[in-house]
């Protein structure tokens, strides 16, 4: 923001008043001797001298304003104002007004500028500058402060438009706070050591700044949890491939665990385990799996293969290795009892583990007993 001085604001260069005529007591005496009482009466004036608003009634001898001010010991600088002018003659009963110029250094948002004014208060000086941004600015001195003859240095912080987001809630505002910490104090935003603030608290407030305050809570959570059991698999050469049995049923254990839970604005950000105490040990499950290979291709019977393919299309979409977990297996959807009772384990433990030809062979064995009645798609 560029600040343009008003009509009474200017640079100062101190110079003494040029005295037009200084009448000492000896000079007055000479004039009295020369002209008598008439001359003395003409020289003597009763005038009012007002300096920075303070009026004094004085009696003085002299012809001009400069004579009167000199007699009163009033010295003017180049930028001081006097009314009437120094060279004007003085009439009895006249008022002479003197306004001293004062230097004011105004630092606005870190940028200093110096101007001179004859105003006697800070408020009047700022009015002379006539910059809208200063009307709402925060000043380092009261606006009502008097301006001394030696001048004054003032810091001004103009209003900035910022966005404040606290715990996810957004607020647009205008502030004259100098730092982020000042703004939070201004808005009554308290925080603890866990909360996060961006940017840093000592960062300066600039126009368009985005300030985020995240509410952080750190707590300890203790709870009982299961400990999964292990599974031990043993091979059994006497069992068909695909067959399995459980020798020892597994059982999960229990443990008491403590966690350090960090939540940000009410949402869990992280969970870190800090301790664990085993309450009950898990029991491993022991299984056996068969490794005996089937005699695939021995005693195959592919009679009625076209019929079985048609039934397979209806039963399983012609997927000979299907196992949906519904208790029926393979292309012809044998259940396990039917498969085993018709010699299916000659080929595999489960129907879907056997080939198409092996499943058809078992189907023909079943067909010899019950025809197609076991198949709803026949």
How many C-beta atoms surround the C-beta of residue 153 within 10 A?
Answer: 13
Q: With contact defined as beta carbons under 8 Å apart, do 278 and 226 qualify?
A: no
Report the DSSP beta bridge partners of residue 197: 213
d(CA 24, CA 10): 35
d(CA 32, CA 13): 39
Q: Which fold has domain 218-289?
A: Resuscitation-promoting factor rpfb fold (2.20.230)
Tokens of residue 307, six digits: 């019929």
40: helix, coil or strand? Answer: helix
d(CA 363, CA 311): 11
Q: How many CA atoms lie within 13 A of 141 on its CB side?
A: 18
pLDDT value of residue 40: 53
pLDDT value of residue 127: 87
Q: How many CA atoms lie within 13 A of 266 on its CB side?
A: 4
pTM of this structure = 0.49
- Cα-based torsion angle of the residue sequence 131, 135, 138, 141 in order, rounded to the nearest 10 degrees: 90
pLDDT value of residue 217: 96
Tokens of residue 350, six digits: 């489960």
**CATH classification (class only), 294-370:** mainly alpha
Phi, then psi, of 56 in degrees rounded to 5: -135, 135
Could you tell me the residue ranges of all domains in the chain?
A: 1-156, 160-214, 218-289, 294-370
Please, which residues have CB within 8 angstroms of residue 197's CB and are 6 or more apart in sequence?
Answer: 180, 184, 191, 211, 212, 213, 214
Q: How many CA atoms lie within 13 A of 278 on its CB side?
A: 7
**How large is the angle between the packed helices 305-316 and 356-370, nearest 10 degrees?**
100
Burial class (CB in 10 A: 0-12, 13-18, 19+), 327: exposed
d(CA 9, CA 318): 100
The beta strands (E) that lie in 84-214 are given as: 95-99, 102-108, 111-117, 138-139, 152-157, 160-166, 169-175, 196-198, 210-214
**CATH classification (class only), 160-214:** alpha beta
How many C-beta atoms surround the C-beta of residue 345 within 10 A?
Answer: 19
pLDDT value of residue 291: 78
Q: Shortest CA distance to 267 belongs to which of 194, 228, 334, 217? A: 217
Integer angstrom CA distances of residue 217 from 193, 222, 271, 374:
10, 16, 12, 66
d(CA 361, CA 348): 12
User: pLDDT tens per residue, the chain (378 residues)?
Assistant: 444 444 444 433 333 333 333 343 344 444 444 444 455 556 688 999 999 999 999 988 888 999 999 989 999 999 999 999 999 999 999 999 999 999 999 998 888 999 999 999 999 998 888 777 888 888 989 988 999 999 999 999 889 999 999 999 999 999 999 899 999 999 999 999 999 999 999 999 999 999 999 999 999 999 999 999 999 999 988 765 556 789 999 999 999 999 999 999 999 999 999 999 999 999 999 999 877 665 554 567 888 989 999 999 999 999 999 999 999 999 999 999 999 999 999 889 999 999 888 899 999 999 999 999 999 888
pLDDT value of residue 12: 35
């Amino acid at each position: 923001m560029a600040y343009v001085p008003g009509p009474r604001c200017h640079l100062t260069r101190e110079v003494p008043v040029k005295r037009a005529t200084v009448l000492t007591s000896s000079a007055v005496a000479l004039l009295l001797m020369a002209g008598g009482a008439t001359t003395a009466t003409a020289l003597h004036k009763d005038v009012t001298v007002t300096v920075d608003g303070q009026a004094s009634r004085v009696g003085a001898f002299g012809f001009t304003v400069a004579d009167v001010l000199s007699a009163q010991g009033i010295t003017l600088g180049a930028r001081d104002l006097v009314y009437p002018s120094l060279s004007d003659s003085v009439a009895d009963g006249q008022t002479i007004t003197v306004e001293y110029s004062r230097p004011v250094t105004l630092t606005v948002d870190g940028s200093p500028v110096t101007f001179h004014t004859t105003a006697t208060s800070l408020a009047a000086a700022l009015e002379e500058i006539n910059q809208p941004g200063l009307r709402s600015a925060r000043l380092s001195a009261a606006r009502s402060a008097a301006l001394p003859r030696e001048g004054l240095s003032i810091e001004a912080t103009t209003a900035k438009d910022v966005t404040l987001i606290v715990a996810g809630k957004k607020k647009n505002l205008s502030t004259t706070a100098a730092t982020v910490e000042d703004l939070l104090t201004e808005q009554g935003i308290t925080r603890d050591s866990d909360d996060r603030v961006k940017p840093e608290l000592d960062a300066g407030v600039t126009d368009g700044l985005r300030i985020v305050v995240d509410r952080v809570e750190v707590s300890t959570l203790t709870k009982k949890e299961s400990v999964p059991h292990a599974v031990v698999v043993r091979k059994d050469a006497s069992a068909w491939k695909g067959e399995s049995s459980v020798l020892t049923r597994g059982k999960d254990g229990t443990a008491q665990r403590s966690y350090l839970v960090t939540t940000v604005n009410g949402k869990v950000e992280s969970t870190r385990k800090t301790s664990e105490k085993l309450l009950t040990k898990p029991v491993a499950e022991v299984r056996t799996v068969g490794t005996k290979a089937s005699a695939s291709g021995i005693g195959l019977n592919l009679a009625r293969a076209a019929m079985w393919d048609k039934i397979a299309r209806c039963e399983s979409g012609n997927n000979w290795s299907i196992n949906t977990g519904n208790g029926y297996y393979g292309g012809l959807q044998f259940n396990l009892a039917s498969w085993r009772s018709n010699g299916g384990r000659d080929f595999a433990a489960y129907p879907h583990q056997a080939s198409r030809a092996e499943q058809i062979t078992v189907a023909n064995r079943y067909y010899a007993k019950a025809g197609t009645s076991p198949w709803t798609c026949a």
